[in-house]
Structure 1
Amino acid sequence: MTRLIVPVDFGEVAANAVNYALELAPQFETGVALLHVVPEDDQFHRAEVEMEKFKERFKSTDVELKSYILVGNLFEDIAKAAELLEAYMVVMGTSGLKGMQYLFGSHALRMMTNARTPFLVTQENPPKAEIHKIVVPIDLSTEDKRIMSLAIQASRLFEARIHLFVAHHTDEFSRNSTYRNEQFAHKYLNEHNVHHTTTHADGNKDFDKELLDFAELISADLVTLVNHKEQGFLNLLGKNFDQNLITNDKGIPVLVLNAHQYKKLNDIFDVFA
């Protein structure tokens, strides 16, 4: 069964995401499905032709590669297709925020708002899909057990080390709350015998910038992010943590986990335990 889905528009960013998914697929012991959505029926045939041309770029792969074309709404139907195909994950390429998208959110963000399937977002030129170092941010909003449980499952699947990166706060309440989250993370990871390190932000920059600088410094392969759907992604001042992380310019893939996916994600990772 195909369990990794890649939305494609036949461009270079999508092609990079496909290559990343093809490298990742053997770790999940699964195939890859390409998905393209057109708004009108009269565009279907042309999309079929483009899809066949696009698939030729990956003919040397040993991974099973399927393709689907849907007529509908891009932002709704990719999420629906992922559920229908029982996908483990959607691997999606993004070139970040451009122009007016900066105000209204990137395509990737809008699709993830409707998704009940995890998204692994890659940038224009993603690294090889060899995941050895996973960065997990620790801050006030950390949903302790959920994030740590998923981090543990991911570390076991990829045989990766967890790197906790703890936010810096100056006020006592925030500092104490973050400290409690950090201590819980240590305890939970130690109880499950997960190798991990801890680094503290120094507070000289916004937390998302410090986090990405740290991830780049240690050559991290993945950053995890838990999104709260009800809070939305976008901040009109451009300071939204989720958005800045997902559209980062350092080429670091981001695994986006929605809080309401918790049970499903544990079921997914349990397959490989």
Structure 2
Amino acid sequence: MYNNDLINSTLVPIDFSETSLLALEHAAAIAKIIGDKNQLVTLVHVIEGANFNSITEAAQIEAGSRDALAIEGAINRLHKITEKYTANSTDAVQYKYIVAGGKAYKKIAELAEQLEADCIVMGTHGSSGIQAFAGSNASRVIHIAPCPVVVVREKPFGRGYKNIVLPLDLTKETKQKVNIAVKVASYYDSTVHLVTSRESADDLDKKLQLNLNQVEKYLQERNIKVTTTTLESGSGNFAMQSLVWAQGKEADLIIIMAEQEKGWTEYIYGTYAQQIVNRSPIPVMAVTPRPELAGLIENPLGMGHHTH
């Protein structure tokens, strides 16, 4: 089931590394995009390999548990972080935390499902030795998450998402990310930069250009500033090519689809989107496709939770 309202719940995996705390900075900002009351940001720390129910306060720690010290330490650190963000928040954004045990990427998706989170915001690298936040595992979260996932590597939130890059391909699902771009761009008065790859086959190239033109018109009708670019497919790896191009645009956010069964002739999820997630210094939002909305750019999709 989808919640097509704007975000009211954001989940942030925290391993106390600089990158995961940077992701929290982005999550706090994303919650503010809505500008409505009752926004909730939930921090979750997963103790890899441990087996215990989710804990939200020290009183719940089982006496004699081999993970008691780790749980208590995590709770103390999470409490300080949430206190700091609550004290500094001038908006109606609430912060809470959870400590959980298990396989990190599975537990993150599971909690997102249970909490009906509308978005997950996570760092790509943790420096604590837990591999759950390395690029490949961020991709695992994206594969099974019930909601969009924003992956942050190194870029601070700074001025906001003023430049948004929106790659378009030949998949039916590619336009489903457009309305998210509209919501973010409307809030930050952003410019949306549409980018696609030129196809050698004329019929495919025409379809790409039609997609590009349709999305450009859709954004213009909603008073969103937009640019369009077609990169030459013979210039090398499109993922790396588009990343270099995005950096040249001083992009603050790249929005992609989480799964692509087909796209550019050879660019499927495992080679294009995964490279973007793993290598982009720019925050990436991966949007989970909804098969029933394939090609329906007019549907008010936006960020939202769904069950598989």
> Quick check: 1:166 aligned with 2:166?
no
Report the equivalent of 1:40: 51
Distance 1:2 1:92 in 2: 17
Deviations 1:68-102 (A, max 9, x none): 01233322221121232222211100039xxxx9x
Distance 1:107 1:192 in 2: 36
TM-score (norm 2): 0.72
Structure 2 counterparts to residues 178-257 of structure 1, below 5 A? 178-203=208-233, 204-228=235-259, 240-249=271-280, 251-257=281-287
Q: Secondary structure at the match of 1:199?
A: strand
Farther-moved stretch of structure 1 (192-201 vs 24-33): 24-33
Write the letter of the residue equivalent to 2:259.
H
Deviation at 1:5, TM superposition (A): 1.3
Contact 1:48 1:69 in 2 (8 A): no
With over 3 angstroms needed to count, the CA separation of the structure-2 counterparts of 1:151 and 1:32, relative to structure 1, is: same
Among residues 26, 33, 40, which one is paired with 1:27 in the alignment? Answer: 33
Contact 2:31 2:41 in 1 (8 A): yes
RMSD: 3.2
With over 3 angstroms needed to count, the CA separation of the structure-2 counterparts of 1:147 and 1:17, relative to structure 1, is: closer
Deviation at 1:182, TM superposition (A): 1.4
Deviations 1:136-173 (A, max 9, x none): 01222263542333332332244322111121222223
Write the letter of the residue equivalent to 2:67.
Q
> Quick check: 1:14 aligned with 2:14?
no
The sequence identity of aligned pairs, in percent, is 26
Write the letter of the residue equivalent to 1:37.
V
Report the equivalent of 2:184: 154
With over 3 angstroms needed to count, the CA separation of the structure-2 counterparts of 1:83 and 1:147, relative to structure 1, is: same
Write the letter of the residue equivalent to 2:118.
Y
Report the equivalent of 2:165: 135
Distance 1:142 1:107 in 2: 26
- Which contiguous aligned blocks of 4+ residues in structure 1 show a shift greater than 4 angstroms? 261-265
Distance 2:187 2:198 in 1: 30
Deviation at 1:226, TM superposition (A): 0.8
Name which one, 1 or 2, has greater alpha-carbon Rg. Answer: 2
Gaps of 5+ in 2: 1-6, 53-65, 294-298
Q: Secondary structure at the match of 1:27?
A: helix
Distance 2:25 2:275 in 1: 24
TM-score (norm 1): 0.80
Give the structure with the larger helix fraction. Answer: 1
Q: Secondary structure at the match of 1:247?
A: helix
Gaps of 5+ in 1: none
Distance 2:174 2:71 in 1: 44
